[in-house]
Chains A and B, each alone.
Chain A
Amino acid sequence: MSMATATVQPVERENYLNKHYGVGSWLFTTDHKRIALLYLLSITFFFFIGGFFALLIRLELLTPAGDLVQADTYNKLFTQHGQVMVFFFLIPSIPAVLGNFLVPMMVGAKDLAFPKINLLSWYLYIIAGIMMLHCMLTGGVDTGWTFYTPFSTAFSNTKVIEAGLSIFVAGFSSILTGLNFVVTIHRMRAPGMTWGRLPLFIWAHYATSIIQILGTPVIAITLVLVVAERALHLGIFDPKLGGDPLLFQHLFWFYSHPAVYIMILPSMGVVTEIIACFSRKRIFGYSFVALSSIAIAVFGFLVWAHHMFVAGISVYAALIFSILSYAVAVPSAVKVFNWTATLYKGSIHYDAPMLYAFGFVGLFTMGGLTGLFLAALGVDMHVHDTYFVIAHFHYIMVGGALMGYLGGMHFWWPKISGKLYPEGWARLAALIVFLGFNLTFFPQFILGYLGMPRRYYQYPPEFQILNVLSTAGATVLAVGYLLPMIYFLWSMRYGKPAPDNPWHAAGLEWKTPSPPPTFNFEQEPVVTWEAYNYDEIDAAAAPQEVPVVG
């Protein structure tokens, strides 16, 4: 895949990219694929803002003293790093980009059920994003992304209201995306596309959408209450006025714990597709993988107060939430086992998407297992709100969700752009991300058990060596994230044109041209095969090697 000679432009087929030109054709499009690209641009923008904050945070922590930025600035940096990464990157990342692009194609539809609402959801995201940017540029907010009361409502003197409203609006963007997916998956499936034949990517997005639909409104109303409380001093969350600050935490985590599954479930869907394709196999235990997605979504709603074990909740409530937290670990474990078992007796290729998928399984395993530590009441007392927690959720949300996102971007890039990316560079980038990630975040587990609290701007000197390691890792990680950005852009201009199905993958999306036409399919597809029929595909593709049986 080297020596791209992009001089000869063959006559291109009409596709979603070249059908219309001009800014208007993008800003007023209702084509799910174009909206996916709009999202891709916007979330990449926010990813780099959030990443820039992360780098500043890591640089500040290079030394124990607070010397690079002011304490208030540091507090704003980690607050807005969290808000941007959670609400403006991770939550929309896979659903709004890959999901938007692929869900209609995978179920065999021309578009999502409500194309205008899809566009509206992007505009809401942009409005929220502009509010957030405005908030940052005019002073920022320093409450931590968790907005804990009464600090946020009565003590912080930063732009809490603006940040809260921004996330409120972003929440509705997320709700509308989820709503669109559920209706599409229920109502728009092509003939023959039964529930049992759906790609597991779709099952994962279905589960994600349930959380988006039922969880997001709760944080929306919670933020309304915070904003109202801050503006009018109502007393709902303020102990000075008779309120209970822990009620805020309950309402906040009712959404924000399941929100972690909004980030990780789609990633699991992506990885499932990739593993099946590059080991040329049906997924081991299809129905268990599918149902475990739903189980994660449902159980995910039952565990929120494990963020509050030392917050002053009752001991009995803590027991209930601890045991329920272990319930949600089971379906996650089932997924990991099924992915591993899928490799067994496969025919494994090591293309870049597969490397990301391997990385995902490894990092997610570690992230998930350290979750067991946090759900154990006795250990949580010690590691709660320390760097152990930071490391744990970055293993899930960066090691897991982001790895899956990058894997998916590589896997479907030929379909999205119609071009092939440079494979060698992609494998290198996957390796760099994996190594950089572990170097950044593994030391933080140790830091956490040693007792270094999170959100600390300066720290005792004995924590320095581990912090230096972590910062070093962060710079490596930054290179790893910049590389794909560069070669994806490069490939759009110079990459080789992609064939319709470069991976010989199963799935309806690969039966469309690359890039697909505006309405995806020339004729409404009729599905007569099971999901992941790689045996049939390989048998059909290689008649000279293997005698065709049927």
Chain B
Amino acid sequence: MFDNFPLWPERASTAAGNVDALFIFLLIVSGLMTLLIFISLLYFAARYRHRKGVPAEQIEGSIPLEITWSIIPLGVFMVIFAWGAVVYFKSRTPPRDSTEVYVVAKQWMWKLEHAEGQREINELHVPVGRDVKLIMTSQDVIHSFFVPAFRMKQDVVPGRYTVAWFRATKAGTYHLFCTQYCGTQHSGMIGSIVVMEPAQYEAWMSGGSNGPLSATGEKIFAELGCATCHRSDTQGRGPNLQGVFGKPVLLEDGRLVTADENYVRESILDPGAKIVKGFRPVMPTFQGLISDEQLNALVAYVKSLSGPGQAGANTSAAAAAPQSAPGKGSQVQ
């Protein structure tokens, strides 16, 4: 009956319940607070309305009261803060073995590419019950990836990766909105997330792939001649990339950084920014020479060099049999 008049958004991810729980707690707290204020206002307004000959009784104030109504709200606020922080932290930390999807946003469309190689536009197919990590960047302005049913939102910023994740719990089709104003067709930059039962999802995955993203990346890696320096032994002019991803890297200036997606991205586009200890700054920049999609593929490839669990190889998609995995098991460090 109320099909067209929902009052509560659908709940289709593991995060949704956490967010809703906090939201309901907040509703109760603020509802009580509103009631307290409104009832006292109305009661005082009626009880102490002006009557001839009854003067107001002057009260200067009360320090104990002031302290009480500063400390108690502060205590409640701290509970809300801590709860909110926990929920936030959970949804900011992708689990280790997530399936990965690369998202490239542009005015006004979402381009999504599964690690297994399937490409989609404005539509994302995911299975129920699996962690999906989104590695997102924008080609132009800031966008924002918002799925109300998952209670998940992350701005998509040009020039870097931002990351989000979810685990869908219910099959169905859900809205995908862009929530960061991005120009004329901002409200048209919408799409859908199709959550499927695992079996259906496998069926869907078996069609139309160009091979895994990491394989595409490997091809690009070879075409661009990266392998001449980044050799899989220790003789190269550039660091050996085997097993680098996800590990700390010691830099020339003594800093220690984690080799995450943004690190790989920066090292390709602005190689001089972070020089690995023991190497010389000889790598040319690839800024402007490769597209965001190619960059994603390279990142996926570098990731795949750090063994399974990082790339999409653990999904048993038929088309995704790794064609080659150079230097398997030769992980240095």
Render A383-397 as a binary contact track against B, CB cut-off 8 A, 1 for contact: 011100000000000
How many Å from the CB of B310 to the closest CB on chain A? Answer: 21
With contacts A284-B61, A346-B48, A376-B26 taken as known, whether A326 is within 8 angstroms of B78 at the C-beta atoms is yes
A379 touches B19 (CB 8 A): yes
B161's nearest neighbour on chain A, judged by CB, is A312
Please determine whether A71 and B187 come into contact, CB atoms closer than 8 angstroms.
yes
CA of A322 to CA of B55 in the docked complex: distance in angstroms? 45
Nearest Cβ on chain B to A307's Cβ, whole angstroms: 11
B185 touches A71 (CB 8 A): yes
CB distance from A533 to the nearest CB of B (A): 9
Interface residues of A in 59-76 (CB under 8 A from B): 66, 71-72, 75
Complex contacts, A146 vs chain B, CB 8 Å: 181
Find residues 358-382 in chain A having any chain B CB closer than 8 Å to their own CB: 358, 361-362, 365-366, 369-370, 372-373, 375-382
Contact of B69 with A376 in the complex, beta carbons under 8 Å: no
A385 and B153 form a contact (CB under 8 A): yes
Binds A, one of B141-149, B249-257, B323-331: B141-149
Q: Which residue of chain A lies nearest to B66 when distances are taken between CB atoms in the complex?
A: A288
Q: In whole Å, how far is A11's beta carbon from the nearest beta carbon of chain B?
A: 35
Answer yes or no: A522 CB below 8 A from chain B CBs.
no
For residue A464, which residues in chain B have a CB less than 8 angstroms away from its CB?
4
From residue A44, how far is it (CB to closest CB) to chain B in Å?
A: 29
Docked-complex contact A286 and B61, CB < 8 angstroms: yes
Given the interface pairs A284-B59, A378-B83, the reply to whether A462 lies near B34 with Cβ below 8 Å is no
Given the known interface contacts A282-B58, A322-B81, A369-B33, the answer about A347 and B157 at a Cβ–Cβ threshold of 8 Å is: no
A28 interface residue per 8 A CB criterion: no
Residue A114 is within 8 A (CB to CB) of chain B in the complex: no
Measured CB to CB, the nearest residue on chain B to A365 is B37
Q: Take A246-B157, A315-B92 as given contacts and tell me if A358 and B55 are in contact as well, using a CB distance cutoff of 8 Å.
A: no
Question: Which of B5-13, B115-123, B201-209 lies at the binding interface?
Answer: B5-13
Checking A379, A455, A539 against B84 with a beta-carbon cut-off of 8 angstroms, the contacting residue is A379
- Residue picked from A72, A318, A345, A446, most chain B C-beta under 10 Å: A345
Query: B158 interface residue, CB < 8 Å from A?
Result: yes
Chain A residue contacts of B186, Cβ below 8 A: 75, 455-457
Chain B CB within 8 A of A311 CB: yes
In the complex, the number of residue pairs spanning A and B with C-beta atoms less than 8 Å apart equals: 291
Q: Which residue of A384, A454, A538 is within 8 Å of B153 (Cβ)?
A: A384
Instruction: Give B162's nearest chain A residue, CB to CB.
Output: A312
In-complex Cβ contact of A381 among B48, B54, B151, B178 (8 A): B151
Known pairs A245-B158, A288-B61, A451-B177; A376 contacts B37 (CB<8 A)? no
On chain A, the residues within 8 Å of B153 by CB distance are 310, 381-382, 384-385
Question: Among the interface residues A151, A322, A378, which one has the most CB atoms of the partner chain B within 10 A?
Answer: A378
Q: CA separation between A336 and B30, bound complex, in Å?
A: 14
Partner pick for B59 among A329, A344, A370, CB 8 A cutoff: A344
With a cutoff of 8 Å between Cβ atoms, the chain A residues found around residue B41 in the complex are: 340, 343, 358, 361-362
Chain B residues within 8 Å of A66, by CB: 187
Mark each residue of chain A from 43 to 82: 1 if its CB lies under 8 Å from any CB of chain B, else 0: 0000000000000000000000010000110010000000
User: How far, in Å, is A103 (CB) from chain B's closest CB?
Assistant: 25
With a CB–CB cut-off of 8 A, which chain A residues contact B40?
Answer: 340, 343
Check: A459 CB closer than 8 A to any chain B CB: yes
Instruction: Tell me the bound Cα distance from A525 to B326 in angstroms.
Output: 90
Bound complex: CA A535 to CA B57 (Å): 8
Interface residues of B in 130-146 (CB under 8 A from A): 140-142, 144, 146
Residue B1 lies at the interface, judged by CB distance under 8 Å to chain A: no
B26–A379 touching, CB < 8 Å: yes
Q: Mark A128-165, 1 if CB is under 8 A from B, else 0.
A: 00000000000000111010101100111000000000
Q: Are A376 and B140 within 8 A (Cβ)?
A: no
B70→A330 contact, CB < 8 A? yes
Q: State the main secondary structure of chain B at its contact with A.
A: mixed
Q: Inside 8 A of A319's CB, which chain B residues have their CB? A: 85
Alpha-carbon separation in the docked complex, A142 to B52 (Å): 58
Q: Which of A288, A344, A462 contacts B48 (CB 8 A)?
A: A344
Q: Is B235 an interface residue (CB 8 A)?
A: no
Contact B179–A151 (Cβ < 8 Å)? no
Determine whether the beta carbon of B45 is less than 8 Å from that of A348: yes
CA distance A362 to B146 in the complex (A): 32
How long is the Cα–Cα vector from A115 to B194 in the complex, in angstroms?
65
Per-residue interface assignment for chain A, residues 20 to 46, with 1 indicating a CB less than 8 Å from any chain B CB and 0 otherwise: 000000000000000000000000000
Compute how far the CA of A366 lies from the CA of B53 in the bound complex, rounded to whole angstroms. 36
With both chains docked as a complex, state the minimum distance between the C-beta of B237 and any C-beta of chain A, in angstroms. Answer: 25
A378 and B142 CA atoms in complex are apart in Å by 22
Tell me, yes or no, whether A534 is within 8 Å of chain B by CB. yes
Give chain A nearest CB distance to B63 CB in angstroms: 8
Is B91 an interface position by the 8 A CB rule? yes
Residues of B within 8 A of A (CB): 3-9, 18-19, 22-23, 26, 29-30, 33-34, 37-38, 40-41, 44-45, 48-62, 65-66, 69-70, 73-74, 77-78, 80-81, 83-89, 91-92, 107, 140-142, 144, 146, 148-149, 151-155, 157-160, 162, 175, 177-188, 190, 270
Q: Can you give 25 contacting A-B residue pairs, CB < 8 Å? A: A142-B183, A144-B181, A148-B142, A150-B158, A239-B157, A240-B159, A245-B142, A282-B60, A311-B157, A326-B80, A343-B40, A347-B54, A347-B56, A348-B44, A358-B45, A372-B29, A372-B80, A380-B84, A382-B148, A386-B179, A450-B9, A450-B148, A454-B181, A457-B186, A538-B56
| Besides A150-B142, A382-B148, A456-B187, 18 new A-B residue pairs in contact (Cβ under 8 A), listed by A number | A71-B185, A280-B56, A288-B66, A323-B81, A326-B80, A333-B70, A346-B56, A347-B49, A376-B26, A377-B81, A380-B88, A382-B19, A386-B179, A449-B8, A449-B9, A455-B186, A462-B3, A462-B6
| Cβ-closest 5 pairs across A and B | A239-B159, A451-B148, A378-B87, A376-B84, A377-B88
